[in-house]
A and B are shown apart, each in its own frame.
Chain A
Amino acid sequence: MKFSLVRDSRRGMRRVNEDRVGHWESPGALLMAVADGLGGHLHGEIAAHLAIESFGAAFLREARPKLADPARFLSRTMAAAHEAIVRHTEKLQLSDMPRTVLVACVVQDGYAHWSNVGDCRFYLLREGRVIARTRDDTVVQLLVDEGRIREEAIASHPERNRLLQTLGGYQAPRPAGASARLAKDDVLLLCSDGFWGPLTQRQLLHGFIANPLGQAIPDLMALAEMRAGDECDNLSVVALAWGEDEVAAADAAQTVPQREPATDVQDFTATDLDFLRMSDEDIERAIAEIRAALRKNAPR
Chain B
Amino acid sequence: MASQANQPGGQVNEPIPVGTRLENYRIVHLLASGGFSFVYLAHDENETPVAIKEYLPSTLALRANGESYPRIPEQDLATFRVGMKSFFEEGRALAGLSHPNIVRVLNFFRANETVYLVMRYERGRTLHDHIGRRRGALKEPWIRATFAQLLNGLREVHSNKLLHLDIKPSNVYLRTDGTPVLLDFGAARQAFPAEGMKLPQTFTPGFASPEQHVDRELLGPWSDIYSVGATMYACLGNALLQPADQRLNDDKLGPARRVWEAKYSHELLETVDWCLQLHHLDRPQSVFALQKALRS
Pairwise interchain contact B220-A286, C-beta atoms closer than 8 A: no
In the complex, residue of chain B having the shortest beta-carbon distance to the beta carbon of A278: B81
Pairwise interchain contact A162-B217, C-beta atoms closer than 8 A: yes
Is A283 at the interface (CB under 8 A from chain B)?
yes
Contact of A165 among B98, B194, B220, B221 (CB under 8 A): B194
Pairwise interchain contact A277-B286, C-beta atoms closer than 8 A: no
Is A137 at the interface (CB under 8 A from chain B)?
yes
B292 → chain A closest CB, angstroms: 13
Chain A residues whose CB sits within 8 angstroms of the CB of B217 once the complex forms: 40, 162-163
Bound CA–CA A165/B195 (angstroms) = 10
In the complex, residue of chain B having the shortest beta-carbon distance to the beta carbon of A143: B197
Pairwise interchain contact B286-A283, C-beta atoms closer than 8 A: no
Pairwise interchain contact B78-A170, C-beta atoms closer than 8 A: no
Interface centre among A86, A163, A170, A291 (most CB of B within 10 A): A170
A84 → chain B closest CB, angstroms: 14
- A residues contacting the other copy or chain, number (CB 8 A): 32
Bound CA–CA A152/B85 (angstroms) = 32
Is A142 at the interface (CB under 8 A from chain B)?
yes
Pairwise interchain contact B95-A290, C-beta atoms closer than 8 A: yes
Is A253 at the interface (CB under 8 A from chain B)?
no
B104-112, B122-130, B140-148: which lies at the interface: B104-112
CB proximity to B under 8 Å, residues A174-226: none
Pairwise interchain contact A170-B82, C-beta atoms closer than 8 A: no
Chain B residues whose CB sits within 8 angstroms of the CB of A278 once the complex forms: 81-82, 84-85
In the complex, residue of chain A having the shortest beta-carbon distance to the beta carbon of B85: A278
CB proximity to A under 8 Å, residues B146-205: 159, 161-163, 191-195, 197
Interface centre among B78, B95, B192 (most CB of A within 10 A): B95
A243 → chain B closest CB, angstroms: 39
Is A294 at the interface (CB under 8 A from chain B)?
yes
In the complex, residue of chain A having the shortest beta-carbon distance to the beta carbon of B220: A96
A78 → chain B closest CB, angstroms: 15
B283 → chain A closest CB, angstroms: 11
Chain A residues whose CB sits within 8 angstroms of the CB of B193 once the complex forms: 162, 164
Is B132 at the interface (CB under 8 A from chain A)?
no
Is A287 at the interface (CB under 8 A from chain B)?
yes
Pairwise interchain contact A170-B92, C-beta atoms closer than 8 A: no
Is B285 at the interface (CB under 8 A from chain A)?
yes
Contact of B81 among A95, A277, A284 (CB under 8 A): A277
Contact of A297 among B95, B159, B163 (CB under 8 A): B95
Interface centre among B84, B88, B105, B162 (most CB of A within 10 A): B88
B7 → chain A closest CB, angstroms: 25
In the complex, residue of chain B having the shortest beta-carbon distance to the beta carbon of A172: B161
Bound CA–CA A166/B176 (angstroms) = 43
Contact of A286 among B82, B92, B161 (CB under 8 A): B92
Bound CA–CA A86/B91 (angstroms) = 21
Is B115 at the interface (CB under 8 A from chain A)?
yes
Is B89 at the interface (CB under 8 A from chain A)?
yes
Is A244 at the interface (CB under 8 A from chain B)?
no
Bound CA–CA A40/B211 (angstroms) = 14
Contact of A137 among B84, B85, B88, B194 (CB under 8 A): B194
Bound CA–CA A290/B117 (angstroms) = 10
Using A162-B217, A293-B92 as known contacts, say yes or no to A142 and B81 having CB atoms under 8 A apart. Answer: no
Is B96 at the interface (CB under 8 A from chain A)?
yes
Is A231 at the interface (CB under 8 A from chain B)?
no
Contact of A170 among B88, B106, B191, B195 (CB under 8 A): B191
In the complex, residue of chain B having the shortest beta-carbon distance to the beta carbon of A163: B217
Is A171 at the interface (CB under 8 A from chain B)?
yes
Pairwise interchain contact B108-A291, C-beta atoms closer than 8 A: yes
Interface centre among A40, A284, A289, A299 (most CB of B within 10 A): A289
In the complex, residue of chain B having the shortest beta-carbon distance to the beta carbon of A294: B95
Pairwise interchain contact B84-A283, C-beta atoms closer than 8 A: yes
Chain B residues whose CB sits within 8 angstroms of the CB of A250 once the complex forms: none
A285 → chain B closest CB, angstroms: 10
9 A-B pairs within 8 Å (CB atoms) are namely A40-B218, A137-B194, A162-B217, A171-B161, A276-B195, A284-B110, A287-B88, A291-B108, A293-B95
| Apart from A171-B194, A290-B92, A294-B106: 7 A-B pairs, beta carbons within 8 A | A95-B220, A171-B191, A273-B82, A283-B81, A287-B109, A291-B107, A291-B108
Rank and list the top 10 A-B pairs by shortest CB-CB distance, nearest first.
Answer: A95-B285, A293-B95, A164-B194, A278-B81, A286-B88, A290-B108, A171-B192, A290-B91, A294-B95, A290-B95
